[in-house]
Amino acid sequence: MTRNSSSNEGGIVPRPVSNPSSDHTYRSKPKVRYRTSTDDTWMPSPSIVNATDFSFVHCSTPGCNNSSAFSQYNSMTLRAGFNTCALHTTTDAIETKTNNTFMSENTVFIFYDIEVTSTMEIEQLSACAVSGQHFTAAIRTSVRRNNSPILNKFTPMIYMMVATEPRVAFENFIVWVNRMMNDHSNGTACASDVVLIAHNGMCHDHVVLFRTMMMWGITPPKWRVSDSLPIFKLVMRPKKEQSSRLSQLVYEYAPWYMHIQHDALSDANALRHVVMSAIPNWQLACYVFSSSFEYFCTSVGLNTYRVRDPLPFPAAHS
pLDDT per residue as tens digits for the range 185-236: 998 999 999 999 999 999 999 999 999 999 999 999 999 999 999 999 999 9
* Radius of gyration from C-alpha coordinates of the chain: 25
pTM surpassing 0.85? no
User: What pLDDT shows up at residue 230?
Assistant: 96
User: What pLDDT shows up at residue 164?
Assistant: 95
User: What pLDDT shows up at residue 306?
Assistant: 78
Please check whether residue 236 lies inside any domain of the structure.
yes
Please check whether residue 73 lies inside any domain of the structure.
no
pLDDT per residue as tens digits for the range 35-46: 333 344 444 555
Please check whether residue 136 lies inside any domain of the structure.
yes
Please check whether residue 95 lies inside any domain of the structure.
no
The number of folded domains in the chain is: 1
Please check whether residue 69 lies inside any domain of the structure.
no
Please check whether residue 91 lies inside any domain of the structure.
no
Please check whether residue 111 lies inside any domain of the structure.
yes
Task: Check: CB of residue 126 under 8 Å from CB of residue 268.
Answer: yes
Please check whether residue 3 lies inside any domain of the structure.
no
- Residue 222's domain spans which residues? 104-292
CATH number at residue 129: 3.30.420.10
- Residue-by-residue pLDDT tens, the chain, 318 positions: 544 544 455 555 555 555 555 555 445 444 443 333 334 444 455 555 556 678 899 999 999 999 999 888 999 999 999 999 999 999 999 999 999 999 999 999 999 999 999 888 999 999 999 999 999 999 999 888 888 898 889 999 999 999 999 999 999 999 999 999 999 999 899 999 999 999 999 999 999 999 999 999 999 999 999 999 999 999 998 887 789 999 999 999 999 999 999 999 999 999 999 999 999 999 999 999 999 999 999 999 998 887 776 665 545 554
